[in-house]
């Protein structure tokens, strides 16, 4: 039976941090602030996968109050989401993610993000979509104060 989940994440942009999106380090003057590497795309995908499993969000599994997760790459969280799906006898059907950022331009990095994510998710790259858009200069995203991401995932689980 196919189960669907949705995810959303947002983090503030700050000086002195690396910008990591979809498991790829992207050159930029600022990075995302967070307990881990703050990869909003992977966090949104994790929430979508956990949602498809009928579970809580990423904070339930990896609370930002736990020092074990301080500075960890978000790919660790995504590997765990994949492991939980596999433990239940499931498989990821597809993942579709969108990053919302005024800057930097993400188009040159989308192919690499898709490749990295498909490897972590253990699916063919054709089952992973990565898109980027702006917020047309509106709100905190438009003022380049943060970056957000949304994701949808489909998971085939046994009855």
Three-state SS annotation for 83-136 = HHHHHCCCEEEEEEEEEECCCCCCHHHHHHHHHHHHHHHCCCHHHEEEEEECCC
Architecture of domain 2-156: 2-Layer Sandwich (3.30)
The ranges of the chain with pLDDT < 70 are none
Task: Give residue-wise pLDDT tens across range 49-93.
Answer: 999 999 999 999 998 888 888 889 999 999 999 999 999 999 999
Distance CA 108, CA 40 (A): 18
- The pTM (predicted TM-score) of the whole model is 0.96
Q: Which two tokens stand for residue 128?
A: 């992973």
User: Phi and psi for 122 in degrees, rounded to 5?
Assistant: 60, 45
| Predicted local distance difference test score (pLDDT) of residue 71 | 86
Domain ranges of the chain: 2-156
Residue that the structure tokens 């600022």 belong to: 30
| Predicted local distance difference test score (pLDDT) of residue 159 | 81
The DSSP output letter for 69 is G
Distance CA 94, CA 156 (A): 10
| Predicted local distance difference test score (pLDDT) of residue 89 | 97
| Predicted local distance difference test score (pLDDT) of residue 103 | 95
Q: Which two tokens stand for residue 13?
A: 């942009």
């Amino acid at each position: 039976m196919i189960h669907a989940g949705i995810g959303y994440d947002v983090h503030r942009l700050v000086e002195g941090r690396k910008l990591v999106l979809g498991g790829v380090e992207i050159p930029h003057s600022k990075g995302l602030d967070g307990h881990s590497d703050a990869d909003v795309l992977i966090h949104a995908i994790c929430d979508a996968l956990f949602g498809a499993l009928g579970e809580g969000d990423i904070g339930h599994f990896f609370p930002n109050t736990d020092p074990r997760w301080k500075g960890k790459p978000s790919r660790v969280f995504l590997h765990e989401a994949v492991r939980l799906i596999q433990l239940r006898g499931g498989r990821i059907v597809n993942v579709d993610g969108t990053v919302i950022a005024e800057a930097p331009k993400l188009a040159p990095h989308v192919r690499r993000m898709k490749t990295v994510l498909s490897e972590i998710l253990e699916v063919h790259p054709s089952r992973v979509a990565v898109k980027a858009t702006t917020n047309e200069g509106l709100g905190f995203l438009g003022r380049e104060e943060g970056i957000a991401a949304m994701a949808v995932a489909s998971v085939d689980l046994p009855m």
